[in-house]
Chain A
């Protein structure tokens, strides 16, 4: 952690000065942190089997937004930077970078001797091709929107890539991480059946190569022998076993068919804590379980109604009821980023239950006797069922009568994308940066998507400034101000982050879960025999 923050401080100074050549120290410090902490006692070899309740729909990092896809493709594909657990962008396929004084030109030196799974050596042309493909909306990638400020990408020589921006964008490095895309060989998508072939063969530079993907069954990765980080990964093979239900997973973990099970419901994981040789590991995450309040709704468009709802919701009680307390109550920042970016919980408005004020606000808004409203929950999201019942009880106290409406995920996504969210639960993950967390969701159109029709000009201005600024202290101030606005105007109620739950066998060593829930930690995991 100490090296991490020193690196951050350096990064900030370097960016402000606008001239930099990353020092040898910074690189080493960064490299040590790539994929989590290094275990000096790690041994190489062996296989690891991980039970997973979610399955990627496909293995294409360019055209699949599903979080279940990102979790596993981070093992095969790499960006220019790595998003550390604490939210910094550490050079990965990049070796160092400089920013011009006006903040509009990023010159990135690439790491040498990086090989693709196809055997070719990575060059600047490949990097240019990859990011040009990703950012062109005509190619239909969900990541295109993150690159709206990028004007051109050039490759002046084999080891240098230059990004030119139309306006300052301090989070370019964190954008060049792993959510979408990754560096692949030039012109890959021009080859026949390119998208489909990604399900059989990986073409990235990551530590693991795809060996087999059998839908509704298993996903197998094998060690990439020519991987550029010497000595990594430790494991020869990693198998993900897809379990359609938690009963099968509990049984598989108990009988030793899987070495590790990633659970979503604490009550399932708890069944295994008494089994010898198994331990439950909790990691704070970057997901959020929230209630969204869309302003297109005739009642919810009144800010006072939204505030009243916020004042009636007891987050702690909802968390206990829905995930047995295996999580962290939130203010306006996800748990994994609270320390670095969160407004201190004591300063967040509208967090303490205050039924008196809530009733007064409702009366002022013209609903002295409350009103009736549909609360949408999503089928298969178990936590929402318990939470909905409790929220209905809590809101009844201020006269709001809640009808619980269950919808299928596809239906919910359609409503979300067409900005007809109404009053709904939401469950979403984040990349480790406040701009990546907030911008698309809360920035007014056309720059953002503003799913909740919040249309808040002040908040939008803050989000724009936060994106342009690259100084950490200043950014923190901007986002603190934004969070105050979010909590007082209540387009959303961020309730809690559920912890990531892994049940591990004794032989599994040094597995550190990344707060995103993506399987970065497997790179430095090893097994004892």
Chain B
């Protein structure tokens, strides 16, 4: 186990450090800072200097980075310069929103995409396959933003309905929560279901041509037994890898969907942080995103072992 974890953790730590440094330097190289935004048309040098001191911007850049890093290592991401709230709290609030959307999307996309892919694989070359492939093509080529907008405008035009605007977590108000996440999840799921279906079909087609499948048929097993026990089982490993990739992709794709549907998720937190030059928020949230991506990859690696005992050695 240690031999599995240690090298991965070391490279994860390095990746987090390097990306943090890049974000730190990039944010400070972008013209304009919070002081400029707070003072607007005022350019009083005393006021400007006072604010720079208040935010620690008068320190040398490497001092600022070391200070920030030292606090991060103690689990303190600092406070938002605008909101005054702890960045960790802002991230956790925003991430629960994004995570709910992402997980629901993943579930829905899996439920739609995997069966479609399996069916298309089984019926390779026939009409059903062509229909499913058409769906895949449309789903893969339609931009999330466009699908979301069409759903939003469409439901408004046909049902005179629009989602509630104020975010409610499932524990606050489940009905409202589901009404809020319905359209965003649908718009994301269409795309991901198509990606899934395409991927599973390819795997399935390849698998069904292999010798052990033919042998199973020759043995007289029922098609259901062949498909589910002999073919599908072998595509689980690539499927899990693919799920990990999709999850990361969905987490990234929510930025657009959060903006479209007014959701206070991680993407919008980062976006408004960048626009306002709220360095602690941007640095903290991006570090968090990097950690998430690393953990998903780690989890996928670990899952291989569970699915395929040969990989445990």
The 5 closest A-B pairs by CB, nearest first: A196-B84, A65-B40, A410-B32, A137-B46, A216-B264
Across the interface, which residues of A come within 8 angstroms of B9, CB to CB?
A: none
Main secondary structure of the interface of A (DSSP, over half): mixed
Residues A65 and B42 in contact in the complex (CB < 8 Å), given A142-B47, A242-B262: yes
Is A140's CB under 8 angstroms from B160's CB? no
Instruction: Report A181 CB to chain B, min CB distance, Å.
Output: 13
Across the interface, which residues of B come within 8 angstroms of A145, CB to CB?
A: 42, 44, 47
Residues A207-255 near B (CB distance < 8 A): 214-218, 239, 241-245, 247-248, 250-252, 254-255
Is A257's CB under 8 angstroms from B165's CB? yes
Is A254's CB under 8 angstroms from B160's CB? yes
Is A196's CB under 8 angstroms from B83's CB? yes
Instruction: Report B159 CB to chain A, min CB distance, Å.
Output: 9
Interface presence of B115 (CB below 8 A): no
Is A414's CB under 8 angstroms from B161's CB? no
Interface presence of A42 (CB below 8 A): no
Is B262's CB under 8 angstroms from A214's CB? no
Is A257's CB under 8 angstroms from B43's CB? no
Is B47's CB under 8 angstroms from A137's CB? yes
Residue on A nearest B160 in the bound complex, by CB = A255
Residue on B nearest A70 in the bound complex, by CB = B40
- Stretch in contact with the other chain, from A19-27, A56-64, A117-125: A56-64
Is B167's CB under 8 angstroms from A139's CB? no
Across the interface, which residues of A come within 8 angstroms of B272, CB to CB?
A: 55, 57, 215-216
Across the interface, which residues of B come within 8 angstroms of A410, CB to CB?
A: 30-33, 36-37, 275, 277
Interface presence of B16 (CB below 8 A): no
- A245 and B257 alpha carbons, distance in the complex (Å): 11
- Stretch in contact with the other chain, from B104-112, B132-140, B149-157, B300-308: B149-157
Residues B252-286 near A (CB distance < 8 A): 258-265, 268-269, 272, 275-277
Interface presence of B234 (CB below 8 A): no
Is B38's CB under 8 angstroms from A142's CB? yes
Interface presence of A449 (CB below 8 A): yes
Is A215's CB under 8 angstroms from B264's CB? yes
Residue on A nearest B35 in the bound complex, by CB = A140
- Report which of A65, A409, A428 forms a contact with B275, defined as CB distance below 8 A: A409
Residues A423-445 near B (CB distance < 8 A): 428, 440-441
- A417 and B145 alpha carbons, distance in the complex (Å): 36
Interface presence of B8 (CB below 8 A): no
Which of B33, B44, B54, B265 lies at the interface centre, i.e. has the most chain A CB atoms within 10 A of its CB?
B44
Instruction: Report A419 CB to chain B, min CB distance, Å.
Output: 8
Could you name 17 residue pairs across A and B whose Cβ atoms are closer than 8 Å?
A: A55-B272, A58-B82, A65-B40, A138-B47, A142-B47, A144-B44, A144-B47, A214-B167, A215-B264, A215-B272, A248-B261, A250-B156, A251-B156, A252-B165, A254-B156, A414-B32, A417-B36
Instruction: Report B95 CB to chain A, min CB distance, Å.
Output: 13
- A140 and B39 alpha carbons, distance in the complex (Å): 8
Is B166's CB under 8 angstroms from A241's CB? yes
Instruction: Report B89 CB to chain A, min CB distance, Å.
Output: 12
Interface presence of B25 (CB below 8 A): no
Across the interface, which residues of B come within 8 angstroms of A241, CB to CB?
A: 165-166, 262
| 8 additional A-B residue pairs with CB within 8 Å, beyond A145-B47, A217-B262, A414-B32 | A58-B83, A137-B46, A142-B38, A144-B42, A144-B47, A241-B262, A244-B259, A244-B260
- A241 and B156 alpha carbons, distance in the complex (Å): 18
Is B276's CB under 8 angstroms from A57's CB? yes
- Report which of B40, B41, B85, B167 forms a contact with A196, defined as CB distance below 8 A: B85
- A55 and B39 alpha carbons, distance in the complex (Å): 17
Interface presence of A102 (CB below 8 A): no
- A255 and B160 alpha carbons, distance in the complex (Å): 5
Residues A66-125 near B (CB distance < 8 A): 66
Number of interface residues of B (CB under 8 A): 50
Is A245's CB under 8 angstroms from B259's CB? yes
- A5 and B210 alpha carbons, distance in the complex (Å): 92
Is A142's CB under 8 angstroms from B40's CB? yes
Number of interface residues of A (CB under 8 A): 55
Interface presence of A141 (CB below 8 A): yes
Task: Please report A residues at the B interface, Cβ cutoff 8 Å.
Answer: 51, 55, 57-58, 63-66, 137-145, 193, 195-197, 199, 214-218, 239, 241-245, 247-248, 250-252, 254-255, 257-258, 409-411, 413-417, 428, 440-441, 449, 451
Contact with A along B20-61 (1 / 0, CB 8 A): 000000000011110011111111101110110010000000
Residues B102-144 near A (CB distance < 8 A): none
Is B277's CB under 8 angstroms from A197's CB? no
Interface presence of B79 (CB below 8 A): yes
Instruction: Report B205 CB to chain A, min CB distance, Å.
Output: 40
Instruction: Report B294 CB to chain A, min CB distance, Å.
Output: 26
Residue on A nearest B156 in the bound complex, by CB = A251
Is B51's CB under 8 angstroms from A140's CB? yes
Across the interface, which residues of A come within 8 angstroms of B39, CB to CB?
A: 65, 140, 142, 417
Is B47's CB under 8 angstroms from A141's CB? yes
Across the interface, which residues of A come within 8 angstroms of B90, CB to CB?
A: 215
Instruction: Report B280 CB to chain A, min CB distance, Å.
Output: 12
Is B166's CB under 8 angstroms from A414's CB? no
- A199 and B90 alpha carbons, distance in the complex (Å): 14
Residues A251 and B47 in contact in the complex (CB < 8 Å), given A57-B82, A65-B38, A142-B38: no
Across the interface, which residues of B come within 8 angstroms of A257, CB to CB?
A: 162, 164-165
Residues A214 and B264 in contact in the complex (CB < 8 Å), given A251-B153, A258-B165: yes
- A248 and B162 alpha carbons, distance in the complex (Å): 9
- A11 and B247 alpha carbons, distance in the complex (Å): 67
Residue on B nearest A451 in the bound complex, by CB = B41
Is A197's CB under 8 angstroms from B84's CB? yes
Instruction: Report A370 CB to chain B, min CB distance, Å.
Output: 30
Is B38's CB under 8 angstroms from A216's CB? no
- A354 and B36 alpha carbons, distance in the complex (Å): 39
Is A57's CB under 8 angstroms from B37's CB? yes
Across the interface, which residues of A come within 8 angstroms of B31, CB to CB?
A: 410-411, 414-415
Across the interface, which residues of A come within 8 angstroms of B149, CB to CB?
A: 247
Is A251's CB under 8 angstroms from B38's CB? no
Is B165's CB under 8 angstroms from A243's CB? yes
Is A248's CB under 8 angstroms from B152's CB? yes
Across the interface, which residues of B come within 8 angstroms of A137, CB to CB?
A: 44, 46-47, 50
Instruction: Report A224 CB to chain B, min CB distance, Å.
Output: 22
Across the interface, which residues of A come within 8 angstroms of B167, CB to CB?
A: 214, 217-218
- Report which of A196, A216, A255, A409 forms a contact with B79, defined as CB distance below 8 A: A196
Across the interface, which residues of A come within 8 angstroms of B48, CB to CB?
A: 140
Across the interface, which residues of A come within 8 angstroms of B40, CB to CB?
A: 65-66, 142, 413
Residues A64 and B275 in contact in the complex (CB < 8 Å), given A196-B83, A413-B32: no
Residues B149-207 near A (CB distance < 8 A): 149, 152-153, 156, 160-162, 164-167
Instruction: Report B130 CB to chain A, min CB distance, Å.
Output: 34
Which of A140, A242, A243, A248 lies at the interface centre, i.e. has the most chain B CB atoms within 10 A of its CB?
A140
Across the interface, which residues of A come within 8 angstroms of B277, CB to CB?
A: 410
Is B54's CB under 8 angstroms from A140's CB? yes
Across the interface, which residues of B come within 8 angstroms of A440, CB to CB?
A: 41-42
Is B41's CB under 8 angstroms from A65's CB? yes
- Report which of B32, B41, B156, B165 forms a contact with A142, defined as CB distance below 8 A: B41
Instruction: Report A415 CB to chain B, min CB distance, Å.
Output: 8
Is A243's CB under 8 angstroms from B162's CB? no
Residue on A nearest B42 in the bound complex, by CB = A142
Instruction: Report B155 CB to chain A, min CB distance, Å.
Output: 8
